[in-house]
A and B are shown apart, each in its own frame.
Chain A
Amino acid sequence: MATTRLRPRSPDIQIYRPQLTSVLSILHRITGVLLSVGSVLLVAWLVAVADGGDAYAMADRWLHSWVGMLLLLGWIFALFYHLCNGIRHLAWDLDFGFELGSIYRSGWTVVAVSVILTLLTWTLGLAGGE
C-alpha cells in the first residue's frame, strides 16, 4: 500500500490570496502575542510603582523614549483591535452575525473602531502628558 505519498495540505498560505477575513483572523493572534509582551510591561510598571520614585522615574523615562512611545502606540492599537475583534468572536459564539455579509461588515467596523479608539486614546494621553 502506497500510504507514504505526501498528501496535499490545506490551507496552503503561500498560494492563498489574503482576504479581510483571513487577515483579521491572523491579526487577532498577532495582537494577542503583542499584548502578552505588553502585559509583562504592565506588571513591571506596577512593580516600579511599588518600588518607589526612582524606579518609577526610570520606567517613565523609558516609556517616553521614542522606542517606548512606538511600543505604547502599537500596544494601544493591539489592545483595542483584540478587544473589538474579541467581541466579534463572542457574537459568533452566540450565533450572531455569522453570514458572509455581516462578517465583512463587522470586520470593517472592528478595523474602523479600533483605529478611532487608538487615535482618541493617543490624543488624550498626549494632551497634558508632558
Chain B
Amino acid sequence: MSEWHRRDPLNRNPASARASALYRAIGLGSAKSGAHHWWLQRMTAVALVPLLLWLVVSLLAHARGGHQAVALWLGRPAVAVTMAVLLVALFWHMKLGLRVIVEDYVHADRVKFAALAAVDLVCVALMAIGVFTSLYLAFR
C-alpha cells in the first residue's frame, strides 16, 4: 500500500477502484481470448476465397443443366464434402460479421441481446441444414 502511495501521492487511483475496475473487466475483455473471434473471422475469410470461386465456377457449369445435372454434380462425394466445408466457413464468418455489426449499431440491452441470440441461432441452424442437406445428397 505504501509502495503505491509513493507513486500516486494524491491517491487518484485507489486500490478499491482498481479492484472494482478489474472485477468489471473480467469476462468482457481480453482474458487471453480477446482476439479469438478476430482471428477466426480472418481464417474463415481466407478459406472462403477459393471455396466461393469454386462455387461460382461450378454453378456456372452445372446450374444450366436443370435439376438432373445439379443433383448429379452434388451427388459426388468430393463435391458434397467441399460444399459442407464451404457452408461451415460461410456461416461461421457470417455469424462473426453480423455479431460485430449488431454490437456496433444496437445499444439497447434487451434488443442487443435478442439480436445477438438471433444471429447465433439462425447462423448455426442454417449451417446445420445446409451441411446435412449436402451430405444427404451424396451419401443417401
Interface residues of A (CB under 8 A from B): 29, 32-33, 35-36, 39-40, 42-43, 46-47, 49-50, 52-53, 56-57, 60, 76, 79, 83, 86-87, 89-90, 93, 121, 124-125, 128-129
Closest to A36 in B: B94
Q: How many residues of B contact A (CB 8 A)?
A: 31
Distance in angstroms between the alpha carbons of A121 and B60 in the assembled complex: 8
Residue B45 lies at the interface, judged by CB distance under 8 Å to chain A: yes
Given A33-B98, A42-B130, A49-B137, residue A56 in contact with residue B70 (CB < 8 A) = yes
Given A49-B137, A121-B60, residue A43 in contact with residue B126 (CB < 8 A) = yes
Contact status B137-A50, CB under 8 Å: yes
Closest beta carbon of chain A to B52's beta carbon, Å: 6
Residue B46 lies at the interface, judged by CB distance under 8 Å to chain A: yes
Contact status A32-B56, CB under 8 Å: no
Contact status A46-B64, CB under 8 Å: no
Closest to B75 in A: A49
Residue B116 lies at the interface, judged by CB distance under 8 Å to chain A: no
Given A42-B130, A43-B126, residue A50 in contact with residue B136 (CB < 8 A) = yes
Residues of A within 8 A of B91 (CB): 39
Given A39-B126, A129-B64, residue A33 in contact with residue B133 (CB < 8 A) = no
Contact status B42-A93, CB under 8 Å: yes
Contact status A90-B126, CB under 8 Å: no
Interface residues of B (CB under 8 A from A): 42, 45-46, 48-49, 52-53, 56, 60, 63-64, 66-67, 70-71, 74, 83, 87, 90-91, 94, 97-98, 101, 126, 129-130, 133-134, 136-137
Residues of B within 8 A of A52 (CB): 67
Closest to A43 in B: B130
Contact status B134-A46, CB under 8 Å: yes
Residues of B within 8 A of A90 (CB): 42, 45-46
Contact status B49-A46, CB under 8 Å: no
Contact status A32-B101, CB under 8 Å: yes
Contact status A79-B49, CB under 8 Å: no
Closest beta carbon of chain B to A85's beta carbon, Å: 11
Interface centre among A33, A49, A89, A124 (most CB of B within 10 A): A49
Contact status A29-B133, CB under 8 Å: no
Contact status B90-A39, CB under 8 Å: yes
Distance in angstroms between the alpha carbons of A90 and B39 in the assembled complex: 11
Distance in angstroms between the alpha carbons of A47 and B136 in the assembled complex: 10
Contact status B98-A46, CB under 8 Å: no
Closest to A32 in B: B97
Closest beta carbon of chain A to B42's beta carbon, Å: 6
